[in-house]
Amino acid sequence: RQLFEQGTRADPSHAPTWQAWALMELKRSPNAALRILEQGLQKVYDPPGQASLYCLQGGAYARLGNLAQAEAAFEQAFRLAPREPRNHYFYALQVLEPQKRLPEAIAHYQRALQLNPRPQDRQKIEQALRRLTPRLPKS
């Protein structure tokens, strides 16, 4: 924690440092992660960096069961980085699937694939689609 504090003081606008710190805290306390993300969002000004923090914020809110705030955070991430595949992936995984909104989740996974994700992300997205597709209700 001291290293993250030093890192964010040294370069307060470096989104990956805020993100890594929040990810570490998320395992222990989603509320602590949310406090860190709020601080980071006040100091990170580049849209892709802000989007990554909003995406993580959405996941933290979802973990706490606050789906309205989770959706709002993901909406900000989509607004700031509409072509970021991970935003669609995590939104589908953390918000839509738990609510059994499977057609919407599948649409977001498909959108993530269309946006040419990194190879390791592509594999996760394809696995999610294979997992969900047989469960879709027949229309």
- Rounded to whole angstroms, the Cα distance separating 33 from 61 reads 10
Q: Under 8 Å CB-to-CB from 78, ≥6 apart: which residues?
A: 51, 87, 88, 91
For residue 90, give the nearest of 38, 32, 78, 31 by alpha carbon. Answer: 78
pTM of the model: 0.91
Mean confidence (pLDDT) of the chain: 94
The token pair that represents 97 in the structure block: 């699937």
Q: 15 near 50, Cβ under 8 Å? A: yes
For residue 86, which phi and psi values (nearest 5 degrees)? -65, -30
pLDDT, tens digit (0-9, with 9 covering 90-100), for 39-54: 999 999 999 999 999 9
